[in-house]
Amino acid sequence: MIDCHTHMPGGLGFLAATSFTARDQLAFMDRHGIDVSVVLTHTGLLFPSPAENDAMAGYVAADPARLIGFATVDPRRADAAEELERCVRERGLRGLKLHPWLQGFCVHDPFMDPVCEAAARLGVPILFHDGTPPYSLALQIAVLARRHPSVRMVLGHGGLHDAWREALVALETTPNLWTCLCGIPPYAAAHVICNGPLERIVVGTDAGLADAAGQPYAAARIAEWGRLDVTAGQREAILVDNPRRLLGLPRT
């Protein structure tokens, strides 16, 4: 199984996690049958910097075959595209995470174009936080995806509780838009899997936002995947085949 949404520990305030290590994450993955995890920054969303991207490269170096790190940038900066390129070509990071709500930018600002063009050149996906107004809604991200049709853009939460129906419509109408079901209710996840474009649906836990080595909320989400009212083929697609295609990993 592949978990397409986890976080490198860090952050601030009530979501600060500092004692969960890469070794803990690998043990968590072993416990739950997760082969590969996509790791996103948390601190870097609050304070994006090359140093945070380098910290990500160091974190996933604990097991580069199983931990796939994504970079982040402040897209307003003139050197944002260059930093993404550095992270991918020199530090081995394999995607970009952006959180328009937390990072406080609108995806339709012109500074997004060079960043998306860099992702297109590098062939890496962009995973967005979504499900939260005013800047992180599925249809807003879908419009950006249509401007950059060769970039795989991922709704990192599938619309969360309130906007999953909108996320489903956005998916159906935007061929390069993917969704990562993470934090949406199980009945909604099953509906999206059974009615949406199955080949562009993956799942994630958001593990790494708590100190506890067991990451109980993430373990609960993995248990939910096993109980979803979907077929074995659909489950295999979202847990194994689709994430491999999204991330450019060889088929096993």
Q: What is the DSSP secondary structure assignment for residue 251, as one 8-state letter?
A: P
Could you tell me which residues are beta bridge partners of residue 178? 154
Joined tokens for residue 229? 């009212």
Asked whether 187 and 161 are in contact (CB, 8 A), the reply is no
Closer CB to Zn ion, 41 or 242, in the complex: 41
- How far apart are CB 202 and Zn ion at their closest, in Å? 14
130 binds Zn ion (CB under 5 A): no
24 binds Zn ion (CB under 5 A): no
Residues 18, 97: Cα–Cα separation, whole Å = 20
Joined tokens for residue 210? 């708590």
Tokens 């390069």 correspond to 176
Which residue in the set 183, 206, 237, 246 belongs to the binding site for Zn ion (CB under 5 A)? 206
- How far apart are CB 160 and Zn ion at their closest, in Å? 11
Tokens 């996103």 correspond to 40
Closer CB to Zn ion, 44 or 75, in the complex: 44
Interacting stretch for Zn ion, rule CB under 5 A, among 61-69, 90-98, 206-214, 229-237?
Answer: 206-214
Beta-carbon neighbour count of residue 185 at 10 Å? 13
3 binds Zn ion (CB under 5 A): no
Interacting stretch for Zn ion, rule CB under 5 A, among 30-38, 65-73, 185-193, 198-206?
Answer: 198-206
Closer CB to Zn ion, 130 or 206, in the complex: 206
Residue number closest to Zn ion, CB atom: 206
First and final C-alpha spacing in the chain: 11
- Give residues in contact with Zn ion (CB under 5 A): 206
